[in-house]
């Protein structure tokens, strides 16, 4: 007897709870959120984009992203401020989900204000407050006169006849401390993070000269000198690390063919900016580099094609995913990672060069180069790799004069505020060697905002404490040594402060 499947007798539409929208973009960092706004500017045809950190009385209070793109009229800005509507993007657009402006902005700030002016249309302004999101977003409109006034007061070095100004207010990502040194150190690091992230994910677009992106700090007295974002090419080496590479692997998918370019970094360039990518370790930067419309969506990681390994430190695989292949991967909302489906994974594993080499041969070449590099460049001392806080020339010297312990994650060096009795702090969990901001001026000899300042002292302290970052436990001997070195270095810093004060008095 055949029993028919039950059939529904009615249907109704179930709308999502408005509170779901507040979870979108929850994993944004400040740098990835800013990058999402810059993507929008580039999609609008901007030739210039300015990221401005606004400060008042030494505290970071707001952030602006200003561009000279085509701008928006009433219909366009209303669509941009709407959560429930997916935008129609042009074929080459960097945007993907249609929610980046709102999700990125409100992941960092409580208030989003957008001002825009399109050719032949009146200026427009809209505001969206994060507090309204869970109960249903409320978009507030400004008058044309207010919008014209705000755009005219933007104070930029490029023509703003058309364009957009995005403002973040009540930024939760900004520090609340009243300590000037903490505020300065945070701002300095934030600018470096945004510079590095934009330079990496937009490196192809920046290198072509399609757009110039700058970052500046503005206070009540005016704006500082803008810093141009330079392209940070993860494949910017001078000579390949292995014969026959880079090599193009043909990736065959049901929709057609694409190419994955296999690269092996040269071992003698491992301290260069394109290799370390802002101080990330070889375990983080090896793997896939996935591009969509020349915008980098993933920088490292193997997406289950293989396991991360110190032996693959020099292996990187670049692949461009056009619109025809998009159904084979999922892009996370922050545009910092992808998930490949089984069809694309199988296609990558089966990909071949014209002479028959495949993914496995590529990994073998990288592993062989890594082993050969260690044999050829054996050094008298092994250290954990430093990242950040030192000039590139010093990082390069570490790479040339020492052998890095690839079983240990690299260590960042930063100035932070510590108690007066500490000159340094060893943080194994975050892989950070912190130096006390209280003694920065004494060490450097003057006030400094340079994250790579004091290279001599930083290098010596790093070498002194290098072994203390190894393993998982810190023994009694390490603790006694750290206590002794703390006392000596604090005494030396205070003596330098006293001497400087005495010299000024004379």
| Locus of tokens 């090419």 | 233
Look up the CATH number of domain 18-228: 3.30.565
Query: Minimal CA–CA distance to 316: which of 270, 371, 384?
Result: 270
* Residue 331 backbone phi and psi in degrees, to 5: -100, 130
**Phi, psi angle pair for 237, to nearest 5°:** -95, 160
Report how far residue 139's alpha carbon sits from residue 443's, in angstroms, rounded to the nearest whole number.
51
pTM for the structure as a whole: 0.76
Radius of gyration of the chain (CA): 26
**pLDDT tens per residue across all 506 residues of the chain:** 566 777 666 566 545 555 555 555 568 999 999 999 999 999 999 999 999 999 998 889 999 999 999 999 999 999 998 875 555 545 555 654 456 788 899 999 999 999 999 999 999 999 999 988 877 788 999 999 999 999 999 999 999 999 999 999 999 989 888 888 788 888 988 999 999 999 999 999 999 999 999 999 998 777 888 999 999 999 999 889 899 999 999 999 999 999 999 999 987 776 678 888 877 777 789 999 999 999 999 999 999 999 988 788 899 999 998 888 889 999 888 888 999 999 999 999 999 999 999 999 999 998 887 766 655 555 567 888 888 788 877 877 787 778 778 778 888 899 988 999 999 999 988 889 999 999 999 999 888 877 888 999 999 999 999 888 886 556 778 888 889 999 999 999 999 988 887 776 66
51: its two tokens: 């990221």
Give me the pLDDT at residue 217, please.
Answer: 93
Q: What does the alpha-carbon distance between residue 55 and residue 183 come to, in Å, rounded to a whole number?
A: 10
Q: What is the rounded CA–CA span in Å between residue 213 and residue 67?
A: 9
* Domain boundary assignment for the chain: 18-228, 247-376, 382-505
Find the largest Cα–Cα distance for the chain: 108
Retrieve residue 115's tokens.
């001002």
- Classify burial at 96, counting beta carbons within 10 Å of its beta carbon; exposed 0-12, middle 13-18, buried 19 or more: buried
Question: For residues 446 and 426, what is the distance between their CA atoms, to the nearest angstrom?
Answer: 25
- For 91, other C-beta atoms within 10 Å of its C-beta total 7
483 burial level (CB within 10 Å; 0-12, 13-18, 19+): exposed
Based on DSSP, count helices (H) and strands (E) in the chain, helices before strands. 14, 22
């Amino acid at each position: 007897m055949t029993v028919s499947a039950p059939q529904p007798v009615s249907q109704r539409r179930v709308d999502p709870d408005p509170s779901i929208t507040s979870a979108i973009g929850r994993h944004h960092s400040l740098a990835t959120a800013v990058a999402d706004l810059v993507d929008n500017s580039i999609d609008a045809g901007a030739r210039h984009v300015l990221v401005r950190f606004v400060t008042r009385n030494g505290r970071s209070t707001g952030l602006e992203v200003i561009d000279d793109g085509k701008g928006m009229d009433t219909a366009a800005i209303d669509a941009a401020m709407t959560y429930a509507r997916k935008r129609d993007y042009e074929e080459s657009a960097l945007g993907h989900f249609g929610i980046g402006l709102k999700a990125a902005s409100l992941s960092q700030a409580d208030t989003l204000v957008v001002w825009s002016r399109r050719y032949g249309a009146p200026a427009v302004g809209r505001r969206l407050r994060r507090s309204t999101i869970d109960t249903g977003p409320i978009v507030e409109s400004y008058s044309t006169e207010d919008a014209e006034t705000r755009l005219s007061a933007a104070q930029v070095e490029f023509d703003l006849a058309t364009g957009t100004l995005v403002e973040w207010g009540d930024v939760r990502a900004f520090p609340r401390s009243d300590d000037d040194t903490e505020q300065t150190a945070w701002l300095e690091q934030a600018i470096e993070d945004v510079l590095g992230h934009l330079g990496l994910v937009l490196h192809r677009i920046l290198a072509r000269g399609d757009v110039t992106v700058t970052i500046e700090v503005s206070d009540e007295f005016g704006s500082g000198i803008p810093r141009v974002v330079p392209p940070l090419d993860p494949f910017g080496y001078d000579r390949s690390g292995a014969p026959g590479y880079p090599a193009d692997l043909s990736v065959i998918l049901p929709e057609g063919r694409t190419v994955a370019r296999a690269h092996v970094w040269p071992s003698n360039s491992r301290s260069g900016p394109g290799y370390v990518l802002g101080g990330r370790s070889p375990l983080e930067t090896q793997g896939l580099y996935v591009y969509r419309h020349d915008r980098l969506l993933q920088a490292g990681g193997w997406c289950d094609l293989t396991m991360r390994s110190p032996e693959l430190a020099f292996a990187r695989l670049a692949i461009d995913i056009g619109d025809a292949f998009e159904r084979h991967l999922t892009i996370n909302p922050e545009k910092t990672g992808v998930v490949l489906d089984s069809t694309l994974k199988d296609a990558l594993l089966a990909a071949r060069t014209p002479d028959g080499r495949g993914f496995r041969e590529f990994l073998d070449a990288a592993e062989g180069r890594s082993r050969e590099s260690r044999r050829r460049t054996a050094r008298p001392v092994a250290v954990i790799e430093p990242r950040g806080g030192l000039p590139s020339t010093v990082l390069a010297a570490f790479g040339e004069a020492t052998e890095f312990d690839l079983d240990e994650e690299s260590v960042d060096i930063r100035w932070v505020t510590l108690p007066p009795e500490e000159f340094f702090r060893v943080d194994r969990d975050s892989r950070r060697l912190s130096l006390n901001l209280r003694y920065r001026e004494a060490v450097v000899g003057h006030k400094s905002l340079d994250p790579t300042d004091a290279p001599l002292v930083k290098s010596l302290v790093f070498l002194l404490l290098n072994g203390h970052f190894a393993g998982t436990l810190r023994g009694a001997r390490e603790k006694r040594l750290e206590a002794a070195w703390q006392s000596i270095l604090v005494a030396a810093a205070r003596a330098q402060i006293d001497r400087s004060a005495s010299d000024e008095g004379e």
